[in-house]
Structure 1
């Protein structure tokens, strides 16, 4: 469906974001790692409670809600799939970043979830995590790595992905029930996206 030019109303109780899809079709030049006490740990068959907690701590402020709304069986089917890899960025023995790579589509790797907790934003931890993500993705026989971000995300996210070597190729509008109104997310998160009941 084609959206008309101009303004379009978003119903009360809904949120709307502009989603930008980005891709990389060749292995990028390796970037230097920032200084920091971070490491990457692969979560082998991640526990659902652990995943949900890290997902919430990394993404709640940016209105990540898709995985919070699915059942345990649906979540397990995704993150336990043989071609899906989940990693934690570790800082001071705590898991403070989330990386999910999906290799289920032949020749492709989707960076499904990528982010660090609020205390690590601006420290270089995200650069470290992206460097590891791209090493892992391009270690496979693929021809494309892709991801998407949206206007709910950190204001520097889109530029960060472009500096990392991704180029935009598609834009969409996503409309969904506001997760703060149905209890999926706390009412006071994501103040940059006002609640309209």
Structure 2
């Protein structure tokens, strides 16, 4: 299906721009996934993005995941609530001391519990610790309806906006093919 998609590019140029969010009332742990695991990373990608047309990595084979994850410039941080993965943020160090938030999101059952703002805040703090002079991210109208507002609430500012047509499935596929019937 052809859809008109708006993509917003946002950036933060100074650590003082960060407006951190506090966590909700839950047993939360945020931990770096230090051992590259294609199985786990694909699980995070599909679990978080399945409802939002995250389809670009679905065709990746095991080797492609391995190559992507074994790069020293990539860090994956996972939020756990009571031992259950609840969301993740992928940070990529890039040339000229840029850090991109490559992927970020919350599992559906944890949305609305103030986890997204807190996990994003912690990810941005980590980006600055990585030596960033600039942290940037892009989101689009196919992502969570809360994504753009969350980025802006944390202090990111839009520096570019694009409109394009994208060919998508008729509806999001969910966390795995056939998950929703």
Q: TM-score, normalization: structure 1?
A: 0.80
Q: Equivalent residues in 2 for 1:92-131 (5 A)?
A: 92-131=82-121
Cα distance change, pair 128–67 in 1 and its aligned pair in 2 (3 A): same
Structure 2 equivalent of residue 140 of structure 1: 130
Q: 1:60 aligns with which of 30, 50, 55?
A: 50
Q: Secondary structure at the match of 2:103?
A: strand
1:163-183 CA-to-partner distances (Å, cap 9, x unmatched) read: 1010001112344442468x8
Paired residues, what number?
176
Cα distance change, pair 81–179 in 1 and its aligned pair in 2 (3 A): farther
- Please report the RMSD computed on the Cα atoms of aligned residues, expressed in angstroms: 2.3
Cα distance change, pair 104–158 in 1 and its aligned pair in 2 (3 A): same
Structure 1 equivalent of residue 8 of structure 2: 20
Instruction: Name the CA distance, whole Å, in 1 between partners of 2:110 and 2:77.
Output: 16
Whether the 8 Å contact between 1:16 and 1:174 is mirrored in structure 2 is yes
How far did residue 66 of structure 1 move? 1.3
Q: Relative contact order (C-alpha < 8 Å, sep 6+): which is higher?
A: 2
Instruction: Name the CA distance, whole Å, in 2 between partners of 1:159 and 1:152.
Output: 14
Runs of 4+ in 1 over 6 A off after TM superposition: none
Whether the 8 Å contact between 2:91 and 2:101 is mirrored in structure 1 is yes
Give the structure with higher Rg (CA): 1
2:22 aligned with 1:33: yes
Greater Cα shift, 162-171 or 39-48: 39-48
Structure 2 equivalent of residue 89 of structure 1: 79
Q: TM-score, normalization: structure 2?
A: 0.86
Q: Where does the alignment leave 5 or more consecutive residues of structure 2 unmatched?
A: none
Instruction: Name the CA distance, whole Å, in 2 between partners of 1:96 and 1:46.
Output: 18
Cα distance change, pair 45–105 in 1 and its aligned pair in 2 (3 A): farther
1:121-169 CA-to-partner distances (Å, cap 9, x unmatched) read: 1101112201210110011222100001110112121111111010001
1:66-124 CA-to-partner distances (Å, cap 9, x unmatched) read: 12122222222222210100111111211120210000323100001011101111101
Q: Where does the alignment leave 5 or more consecutive residues of structure 1 unmatched?
A: 1-12, 190-197
Q: Secondary structure at the match of 2:160?
A: strand
